[in-house]
Structure 1
Amino acid sequence: MSPMSNSLVEPQVESLATAGLSQGDVSDFFALLKPRVMFLVVFTALVGMVVSHPDVHPVVAFVSLLMIAVGGGASGALNMWWDADIDAVMTRTRKRPIPAGKIQPGEALAFGVTLAFGSVIILGLASNWLAAGLLAFTIFFYVVIYSMWLKRSTPQNIVIGGAAGALPPIVAQAAVTGHVAWDSVVLFAIIFMWTPPHFWALALVKSSDYERAGIPMMPNVAGPDSTRFQILAYTILLAPLGLAPVALGFGGLAYAIMALIGGFGMLALAVQVYRLRQGEPAMRVAQQLFGFSILYLFLLFATLLVEHGFGFFRPVFR
């Protein structure tokens, strides 16, 4: 933990340690799971299942998806436990359950560990141990590699750490098929390449927050101009990668249209972020890119879900 962060939040941490049992209710423990992130985990995992066209019992598929969601929530709870000191000094996170004093760090740790082990074991028993092993690796990567190491040590934290958030489609495919194929790997690659422009756009807007917490985000280390260039570079790679499902035969005509329109929108906003260097307009367009990137990823995966889940899939190349 950074010296700056510790000096700023020492009183809060001490008060939490001596407060006895927390006053948190069910909603506070649910907040520990990072429900918005957990929704993304569930959604991308569901698409990974559907594009695999598995011949699997629906109960097995449901339990597998549920355990992937629980594993994602466990990662969020353990991340909040470890990051309680920096959450307390950042404006967008200071109201989370631990810095707000609603849940003690030890309770969050026990909660997260229980969910992590439970989700892995149940997934292994309900589906297969390849999927369980991949889920365990995902939790380990997010909590230990990203949260405990990369986040506080390198501006590449989001790039490398993004692998954890991109793994759910692979875990889901393994859960319902017993193996990993190219379609889930491509979905992994899309999410992985999407992560840097998505989070760095937010980091441009919230750079003072990250600086106060001592987190080496790209704008605070390399500077805003370098970050804008890297956002553009990653987006240039992301846009054609979004069309890879079409080339590999599991993205249909509707997906191709959505990927083209969405990729163009991402590129247009990334160019604006690169060109606008100062003032309120620059911050506004960075915020727009952050918001649009969420819509872009959602629409890509939603189109695949509709094509394969509702029988609308028609390959572009026959």
Structure 2
Amino acid sequence: MRIGYFLSCEEYTPAQLIEQAKQAQDAGFQSLWISDHYHPWNDEQGQSPFVWSIIGALSQVVSIPVTTAVTCPIMRIHPAVVAQAAATSAVLHDGRFVLGVGTGEALNEHITGERWPFAEERLEMLEEAVGVMRELWDGGFVTHHGKYFTVDQAQVYTRPPEPPKVYVSAFGPRALEVAARIGDGYVSTMPDAEMVSRFRDLGGGDKQVQGGFKGCWAPTEEEGVKTAHRLWANSGVPGELSQVLPSPKHFEQASQLVTEDMTRSSVACGPDPSKHAAQLEAYEKAGFDEVYIANMGPHYAELMEMYRTEFL
């Protein structure tokens, strides 16, 4: 199982993200995830730069693969524009760019004022969007009049020799079927062996499966718990709330239901590598090909050093 580093655009400035990417490559991480948000989950995180600018900058400082985790190409940005952005990114990264996609969250996608669709509708939109992007990557002028999207005589001129791979995020049974059918790979944030097995049985075969989790390096476990809870208590918000809440303020309200003890039990906090080892082992046993670790808080250099000496 390969180990990569997860760049959290919600928490760090552009300069810090570039610094982390360079440090991650130097430490021996084999690839990068990067989140694609318009808003952070809460005001305490405080950042959210435009991911395509960061991806372009990354191409000048690292040579390891980069995957968006994940981009929603159905509302905030039209799939024809995402197709152009992904193609340019693949050219800049010499083919080492993967477009991770999903059905998104209202938090980021409602900003244009469009109605937030139901989950089944968003899946239909995602499938059509991926089809539009693949057609544009094939070259030539494209005109498309679909159920959800229209493309009028568009052509992506700057394209890599091979189209970008598309990995699909999925959590429910219907989404998993779509991911297995249209994706070049599968993305999840849960070490669920049953989901991996079902993805492969539904048609995923030997396609790549990526997973990821967050940790919080700190000098002590207690400091790590407090930092993780202050910045990322939203990770404990259950069910579909994370998909439907429209603003950071709403996540802050919902996160009041998440206690420090809940954060302590779910996040690898502090300097102990054994907690990270347990997380990595869970993903490995579940059948993941790649797993990505993100740091919460200011001690990302220390987390990378721990991974360099203990795991990489």
Relative to the length of structure 1, the TM-score reads 0.29
Relative to the length of structure 2, the TM-score reads 0.29
Structure having the larger proportion of residues in helix = 1
Q: Of the two, which has the highest radius of gyration? A: 1
Structure having the larger proportion of residues in strand = 2
